[in-house]
């Protein structure tokens, strides 16, 4: 499946804020973001931007969510349609579905420095869900599921290096992690307050409702 493979800092500049697409490395000064009000899109240095329309604002929120979770337009639209069918608030349901993707869970556990790296970990057959190998990044976990690195992979230096970087990362309350055994348990469906991404999901709902 096609994926964006260009420089991710470019995507952050386009949105005018830090999306932490490289995980903890994004806290370094080199990733400082210029405000959109002072600069144009990448490559348009010194140009002024006209006032963003309502549609443009809604579109930017959708683009941010897609880029943060690393999903394509067709996938994202599919998640939205599913969110509409679930009881509750559609925008929040959308974020819940994205948070419960296996690659995001692996990232939240601290087994990937970024969601992109977590996706690679899943695809390279390092992950077990309830004792069974799962190599589909979009696989949806549910409360009670146990996600872990398979036994043969636990001694790989890669994970030791990753944990050195992510050990200070705050694990959300809906997820329990046993880092000594590279294992995590899904405690519950996350609440909106437990999802720390800089997205106004109501604007995404408004966009798709047109």
Segment 47-86, tens digit of pLDDT = 445 688 999 999 999 999 999 999 999 999 999 999 999 9
pLDDT class for 157, splitting at 50, 70, 90? very high
Q: How far apart are CA 34 and CA 15, in angstroms?
A: 10
Domain ranges across the chain: 8-98+197-208, 102-188
Determine the 3-state secondary structure of 41 from DSSP: coil
The angle at the Cα of 66, spanning 99 to 150, to the nearest 5 degrees, equals 45
CB atoms within 10 A of CB 32: 11
The arithmetic mean of pLDDT across residues 107-118, rounded, is 95
- For residue 8, what pLDDT is reported? 54
Do residues 165 and 159 lie in contact, with contact meaning Cβ atoms separated by under 8 Å?
Answer: no
Residue 88 has pLDDT above 90, yes or no: yes
Average pLDDT value for the chain: 85
Q: Name the pTM for this structure.
A: 0.79
Look-up of token digits 């959308």: 94
Select the CATH number that applies to the domain covering 102-188 from these four: 3.30.1490.190, 3.10.290.10, 3.20.20.60, 3.30.160.270: 3.10.290.10
- For residue 18, what pLDDT is reported? 55
Residue 14 has pLDDT above 80, yes or no: no
Q: Which CATH superfamily is domain 8-98+197-208 in?
A: Ribosomal protein S4/S9, N-terminal domain (1.10.1050.10)
pLDDT class for 179, splitting at 50, 70, 90? very high
Residue 202 has pLDDT above 70, yes or no: yes
- For residue 47, what pLDDT is reported? 47
Q: How far apart are CA 2 and CA 19, in angstroms?
A: 21
């Amino acid at each position: 499946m096609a994926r964006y493979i260009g420089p991710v800092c470019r995507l952050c500049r386009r949105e005018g804020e830090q999306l932490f697409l490289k995980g903890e490395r994004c806290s370094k000064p080199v990733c400082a973001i210029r405000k959109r009000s002072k600069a144009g899109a990448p490559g348009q240095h010194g140009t002024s931007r006209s006032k963003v329309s309502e549609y443009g604002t809604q579109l930017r929120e959708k683009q941010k969510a897609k880029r943060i979770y690393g999903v394509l337009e067709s996938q994202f639209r599919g998640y939205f349609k599913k969110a509409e069918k679930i009881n509750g608030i559609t925008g929040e349901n959308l974020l819940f579905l994205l948070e419960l993707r296996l690659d995001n869970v692996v990232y939240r556990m601290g087994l990937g420095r970024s969601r992109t790296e977590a996706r690679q970990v899943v695809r390279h057959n390092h992950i077990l869900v309830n004792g069974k190998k799962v190599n589909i990044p979009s696989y949806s976990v549910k409360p009670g599921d146990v996600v872990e690195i398979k036994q043969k992979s636990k001694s790989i230096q890669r994970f030791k290096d990753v944990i050195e970087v992510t050990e200070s990362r705050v694990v959300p309350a809906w997820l329990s992690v046993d880092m000594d055994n590279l294992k995590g348990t899904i405690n519950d469906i996350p609440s909106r307050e437990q999802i720390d991404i800089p997205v106004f999901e109501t604007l995404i709902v408004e966009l798709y409702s047109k």
